Structure 1
Amino acid sequence: MSNDTYILTTKDFSILEALCDNWQGRNDRLVALCRRKIQKAIVVFRDDLPGDVASVNSRVRFRAHAVESDIRVISTGQATGPVGLFLPITTPRGLALLGLRAGQKIEFENTNGVAETMLLEAVEYQPEASRRERQMIGQEVVTSLQRPNLRLVSGGKDGCHSQLIDASGGFDDPGPSAA
């Protein structure tokens, strides 16, 4: 994947489109970065998003300016929670991380016009991957609880000389009252 290609879910793509449309009077650098993300995006359904891609509500580990790593949750805006936990996509760093794949770098201008380089080191939690895992576990539990409808017995008919006779006289439809 090119360093200038981003993978976005349909939901994240729609959020970015809405942000670009409603960013009147805001920082031109943010609008430019948002448009760049939209133009270079590969849009996928949430079930098709690779587990190492940063999406909204993902917990990511990243490095800015090649200094110490930081861990944040990418959010859509001002979140109520502990300070330093969230990184909104309404900030240059939050927007820059959205759609990156682990190991991918991005260069952008921050709000002061200074060039920044960020590296997405890892996606530690991604809601789409978590949802897929829960579905797989749920399906396995349901599958293991179901009992087979048919039991095969090897040699089950050996020694059995009588034929089964249908008690209903050949008519096996119980009719609408059985429903």
Structure 2
Amino acid sequence: MSSKPAITVTRLDMQRLEHMLEHLDNYDAAAEALEAELARANFVGHTEIADDIVTMNSKAHFYEENSNTEYQLTLVYPQQAGIEGNVSILAPIGTALLGLSVGQSIDWQTPKGKILKLTLKRVEFQPEAAQQYTL
């Protein structure tokens, strides 16, 4: 797997995610992975984040090279993950997508061990760009 790309996270998302982690009933490997991502992130204010970066509740389009498939995913908190197209921040792919900017790629290992290369093509909706800070 390649090295992880630099990521940028808003301080507001970081605070909300840390609060979520503190109140989890089951602090497992997924929670540890999210905490590791937050530890390596660059932080900016929620009004300073570029509009081409995946933040919480962003809807984004990704391209998977091996299958030539495009995906549209919305990065959400675990309680909203049951809706089609939503991916939980605690899912390995959700943790990996947080903070990516358009053009960046990640290698993601599926539960079956296959490596997929996902590239962020565009951010269709980002709450901060829409000045919706309560999502």
Same-fold call, TM cutoff 0.5 = yes
1:5: how far off?
1.4
* Equivalent residues of 2:76, 2:87 under 8 A apart: yes
CA-based RMSD of the aligned residues comes to: 2.7
Q: Quick check: which one's strand share is greater?
A: 2
Gapped regions of structure 1 (runs ≥ 5): 133-179
- 1:100 — aligned with what? 100
SS in 2 for 1:69: strand
Number of corresponding residues: 128
Residues 23, 31 of structure 1: 8 Å contact kept: no
How far apart, in 2, do the equivalents of 1:80 and 1:107 lie?
22
Code of the residue aligned with 1:89 in structure 2: it is: I
Q: Give how far 1:101 is off.
A: 0.3
What SS class does the counterpart of residue 131 from structure 1 fall into? coil
Instruction: Tell me which of the two structures has the higher relative contact order, counting C-alpha pairs closer than 8 angstroms and 6 or more residues apart.
Output: 2
One-letter amino acid of the structure 2 residue matched with residue 78 of structure 1? Q
Runs (5+) with no aligned partner, structure 2: none
Partners of 2:129 and 2:49 in 1: CA distance: 8
What is the CA–CA distance in structure 2 between the aligned matches of 1:23 and 1:120, rounded to whole Å? Answer: 32
1:72–1:108: structure 2 CA closer, same or farther, 3 Å change rule? Answer: closer
Indicate the residue corresponding to 2:71 in structure 1: 70
Residue identity over aligned pairs, in percent, reads 25
TM-score, normalisation: structure 1: 0.60
Deviates more, 1:36-45 or 1:109-118: 109-118
Find the residue that maps to 1:37 and give its secondary structure: helix
Q: Quickly say closer, same or farther: Cα 1:118–1:80, change in 2 above 3 A.
A: closer
Give the 3 Å change call, closer, same or farther, for CA 108–23 of structure 1 in structure 2.
Answer: farther
Match of 1:37 in 2: 37
Which SS does the other structure have where 1:16 is aligned?
Answer: helix
